[in-house]
Amino acid sequence: MRLVCIHVGKTGGVHVHRVLRDGHVDHVWLGHCTPLTDAAERFPKDQMLIGIREPVEHALSAFDARRRKAPDWSPREQDFFRQFPDAQTWCDGLGSREADSAFEFLGHVSSGLTHYFCGGFRECLDRTWIYDTRTLSSCMRVLFARLNRPLPIENQRKHNAAPARVRVSHDARERLRQQLDQAVRLYRELQPLTLTQRGVG
């Protein structure tokens, strides 16, 4: 079986790639921004693998990751981060055109769940394995059990698999959750379909 891995930014992809590589699992690694439907159409006979992450945590982590890469900022990003130098300031500004623009252009903030799970994605789910960063270690155990292979390394969260939780106020999280309502509902739909929830089967 060959896996086609869709790399959703800030979902532990570096860790997953290392585990698959060290386990000598036959896989194709697709870069960021490839929707599930596109990957399934391109590889019609292969098993898809894609990660999900709770949308508020994903957006905060994506914001912070881009914030820490100042040497790579575009002029637009320079202007944005002058106005919103940290996640709390950004969340406080949500609802304004300037703050909301992050969902249009800012790194992985602009490519959340609704980007990857779009169109007729439900038609692809019968050959899609989903892992959740909240249960990444157990998802990897199930994945390798399904492949009838031992885990190649001690399966612990490492590298980028569990980025530090970005600290913002409860109210800030709620404002962000409202902005991401569609993604939050989608995440709740997908959670029961994860490897951990479905088991070896």
What is the DSSP code string of 26-78? -EEEE-TT--HHHHHHHSTTSEEEEEE--HHHHHHHHHHHHHT-GGG--HHHH
For the chain, give every domain's residue range.
Answer: 3-198
* Distance separating alpha carbons of residues 118 and 141, to the nearest angstrom: 28
Residue 52, phi then psi, degrees to nearest 5: -125, 160
Which pLDDT score, from 0 to 100, does residue 159 have? 44
pLDDT by residue (tens digit) across 124-167? 999 999 999 999 989 999 999 999 999 886 555 444 444 567 89
pLDDT by residue (tens digit) across 71-121? 999 999 999 999 999 999 999 999 999 999 999 999 899 999 999 999 999
C-alpha count within 13 angstroms, C-beta hemisphere, residue 133 = 27
Residue 120, phi then psi, degrees to nearest 5: -90, 40
* Distance separating alpha carbons of residues 38 and 26, to the nearest angstrom: 20
pLDDT by residue (tens digit) across 139-151? 999 999 999 999 8
Residue 29 pLDDT greater than 50, yes or no: yes
Which pLDDT score, from 0 to 100, does residue 164 have? 63
Question: What integer best gives the mean pLDDT of the chain?
Answer: 92
* Distance separating alpha carbons of residues 105 and 16, to the nearest angstrom: 26
Residue 19 pLDDT greater than 60, yes or no: yes
Which pair of structure tokens corresponds to residue 184? 């939050």
DSSP notation for 107-164: GGGGS-HHHHS-TTGGGGGGGEEEEEGGGHHHHHHHHHHHTT---SS-----TTSSPP
Residue pair 140/131 in contact (Cβ under 8 Å)? The answer is: yes
Which pLDDT score, from 0 to 100, does residue 7 have? 94
Which pLDDT score, from 0 to 100, does residue 154 have? 57
Which pair of structure tokens corresponds to residue 125? 């789910």
Which pair of structure tokens corresponds to residue 137? 């270690």
Which pLDDT score, from 0 to 100, does residue 107 have? 87
- Taking the whole predicted model, whether its pTM rises above 0.95 is answered as no
Which pLDDT score, from 0 to 100, does residue 155 have? 57
